[in-house]
């Protein structure tokens, strides 16, 4: 078991898949010669050449479409979008083509297409570089959406995404590329469906994903010092959501808190609450609570930015409120 950074785990998954299958290729802005904005494809250009590690012009919608077209003929492209905000430009190809081709061809065409996007807010990048688009991706029929919170999952989910016959969006995080964690040395695959229990507990369930898993874990640590045992669930797959896994945790703890980096109207929090209502309403001892970003374009100013995005303090406060403390 080696410790590696999130970006290194992504790089390893790329390298293994490119080495294994000549129809796997990677494309995106600056991923080749420059090695990728977050180094996640560094060294691959020299190893696999310009036909398989492709530096694209700044044309998100069409290089996404080129990846989709290649996938329709059996290639397995891994398309990197430099910043999740730029994925808005690729939404036409992603949602109108990738997500729908298998269905609207009556199952006759497969689209094993992978899009990697660094989602989330980093540090003072302003409104046009701080988008969180999970609510958009998870609302599109036909897509799979996964969000690795650890280097281990960054590797395992990308491996599974490349092998999947469905289009998969991987939402990474700009602030997590240097996050360290243990990754097993042998090859493994993380399932594209299902929640993961990050920390078992009995008093409340904290549902989180991507960076908010770390806020939830920090909060659980602090709550434990006050005698509260929080169960932290990494949703990990946002589409399809594991409703059985969510309900199972609620049946155990009878209290639910959802933490999302995205702003609240429409999103992970709202969806998980709806599922809890539908599947486990009578198991609840209190109304579910959500912690989320403020409904504002993310401001540049450091203080304002910090105020817009939730953190572990907010999770602790919400948990206490939920427990009536």
Map the footprint of other proteins across residues 161-200, applying CB under 8 A: 165-166
Q: Contact between 269 and other proteins (CB under 8 A)? A: no
Tokens linked to 98: 């990738």
Choices 73-81, 226-234, 289-297, 317-325; region in contact with other proteins by CB under 8 A: 73-81
- Whole-angstrom CA distances from 313 to 173, 176, 292, 323 are 20, 19, 12, 15
CB 185 within 8 A of CB 2: yes
Binding flag, residue 68, other proteins (CB under 8 A):
yes
CA distance 72 to 289: 42
Task: Using the structure block, give the residue that is written with the tokens 């905000």.
Answer: 85
- Taking CA atoms, 219 is separated from 50, 128, 204, 222, in Å, by 45, 29, 12, 5
Helices and strands, counts by H and E, the chain: 12, 14
223-252 mask for other proteins (x: CB under 8 A)? ------------------------------
Q: What is the sign of the dihedral through the CA atoms of 258, 262, 268 and 269?
A: positive
Mark whether 229 is an active-site residue: no
57: contact with other proteins by CB under 8 A: yes
Among 8, 37, 41, 64, indicate the residue that binds other proteins (CB under 8 A): 64
Active site residue 278: no
Closest contact distance (angstroms) between CB of 110 and other proteins is 6
**What CA–CA distance (Å, rounded) separates 113 from 68?**
6
- Show the tokens assigned to 305: 């930015």
When binding is defined by CB under 8 A, the residue of 42, 43, 62, 251 that contacts other proteins is: 62
Binding mask 120-159 for other proteins (x = CB under 8 A): ---------------------xx-x---------------
Residue with tokens 């991923």: 31
Residue 170 or 211 with smaller CB distance to other proteins: 170
Number of residues that bind other proteins (CB under 8 A): 43
3-state secondary structure of 207: strand
Q: Which of 16, 23, 124, 251 binds other proteins (CB under 8 A)?
A: 23
- Note the residues at the interface with other proteins (CB under 8 A): 22-23, 25, 51-52, 54, 56-57, 59, 61-75, 92-93, 96-97, 101-110, 141-142, 144, 165-166
């Amino acid at each position: 078991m080696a410790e590696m950074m999130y970006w290194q785990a992504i790089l390893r998954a790329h390298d293994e898949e490119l080495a294994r299958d000549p129809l796997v290729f990677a494309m995106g802005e600056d991923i080749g010669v420059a090695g990728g904005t977050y180094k996640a494809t560094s060294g691959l250009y020299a190893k696999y050449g310009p036909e398989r590690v492709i530096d694209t012009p700044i044309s998100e919608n069409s290089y996404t479409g080129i990846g989709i077209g290649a996938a329709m003929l059996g290639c397995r492209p891994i398309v990197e979008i430099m910043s999740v905000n730029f994925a808005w430009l690729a939404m036409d190809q992603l949602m109108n083509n990738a997500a729908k081709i298998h269905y609207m061809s009556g199952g006759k065409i497969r689209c094993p297409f992978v899009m990697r996007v660094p989602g989330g807010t980093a540090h003072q990048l302003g409104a046009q570089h701080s988008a969180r688009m999970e609510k958009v991706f998870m609302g599109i029929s036909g897509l799979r959406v996964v969000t690795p919170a650890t280097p281990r999952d960054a590797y395992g989910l990308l491996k599974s995404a490349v092998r999947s016959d469905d289009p998969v969006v991987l939402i990474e995080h700009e602030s997590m590329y240097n996050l360290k964690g243990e990754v097993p040395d042998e090859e493994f695959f993380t399932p594209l469906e299902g929640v993961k229990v990050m920390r078992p507990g009995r008093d409340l369930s904290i549902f989180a994903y991507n960076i908010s898993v770390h806020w939830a874990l920090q909060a659980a640590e602090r709550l434990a010092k006050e005698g509260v045992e929080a169960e932290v669930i990494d949703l990990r797959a946002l589409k399809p959501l594991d409703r059985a896994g969510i309900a199972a945790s609620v049946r155990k703890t009878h209290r639910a808190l959802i933490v999302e980096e995205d702003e609240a109207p429409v999103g992970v929090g709202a969806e998980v609450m709806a599922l809890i209502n539908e599947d486990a309403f009578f198991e609840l001892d209190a109304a579910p609570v959500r912690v989320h970003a403020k409904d504002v374009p993310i401001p540049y100013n450091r203080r304002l930015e910090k105020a817009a995005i939730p953190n572990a303090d907010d999770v602790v406060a919400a948990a206490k409120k939920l427990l009536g403390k």
